[in-house]
Amino acid sequence: MTPDSKGRKSHRHLEMVAGVTMISFSAVWVKLVHVGPTTIGFYRMLFGALFLFLIVLFKRSRLWYGWQPFLLGTILGLLFAGDLTVWHRSILAVGPGLATVLGNFQVFILAAFGILILRERPGWKVFAAIPLAMLGLLLIVGPKWQNVDATYKLGILLGLATACFYASYVLVLKKLLSRSDAPPPLLNVTVSTFVTTVAIGLIALLQGESFAIPDTQNLLILIVYGLCGQVLGWLLITRSVSAIPASRVGLILLLQPTLAFVWDVLFFKRPTTELEGVGAVIALAAIYLGTPKTEPQNP
């Protein structure tokens, strides 16, 4: 390997770490901004959609690939609208760290789908990961379950619902990417982002949430959330993932829930016992073991 190729690989690693780190702050922005949880998702997608559309125009990308890819892209957008709607509420109820860890339990839903529906035969890692994940979750929330309020308990359930939406999103994305007429990733995420913006805006209206942004600080947070969480982080990961060995990709992606938990402790003073800390480590290890090496990522 030449020094130049080593340098390029190192650069791609740094790009991916930077992208995952940006995405790890997503739950932090949700916690900091003072608008309704569904409205937060609307503005994330709105600002993200505008940035993505500008990139597509700049690249002069082809926009139409047929009705079937468009329909699958629309389904992706609807699933992601559901994902954000429940995830943001989970963040506000149980904190950024635990909500993000719960959302990443999607790997076990995908594993169950593969085993039960597709008749796949996963390796020992998946079978080891599932009970480990349950043990980790039990250590985090089990000891205090009787003492927490209904909002916290609902937040746990919403975090697991996030995992269901996330897994469904990944399955539809795999279906789209397997097509010979699949649009490039940039256009896929642009279409799904616009659909999510419309869908989550309608959900906010039905829920009676206000779209008013109280001040400039909240506006800036929402813009940063849209730019980093929906555009820059995803683009950095996409640019770098093909140049990095699959085993390292899984390890780097694990930074997202790990850092989200760290930010929760550092920025929001999340009270964490030693038992909860052990549970978090076990759950994260289970997520890593259960993650398929070629799994497409949620934008």
Amino acid making up residue 147: N
Q: Report the number of distinct structural domains present in the chain.
A: 1
188 is a domain residue: yes
295 is a domain residue: no
Per-chain mean pLDDT for the chain: 84
Task: Give the mean model confidence (pLDDT) for residues 142-162.
Answer: 87
298 is a domain residue: no
CA distances from 227 to 11, 14, 95, 292, 299 (A): 22, 19, 22, 28, 12
The 10s digit of each residue's pLDDT in 278-295 is 888 888 888 877 776 555
195 is a domain residue: yes
297 is a domain residue: no
Distance separating alpha carbons of residues 296 and 275, to the nearest angstrom: 32
pTM of the full predicted structure?
0.85
Domain membership of residue 22 as a residue range: 3-290
Task: Give the mean model confidence (pLDDT) for residues 185-212.
Answer: 91
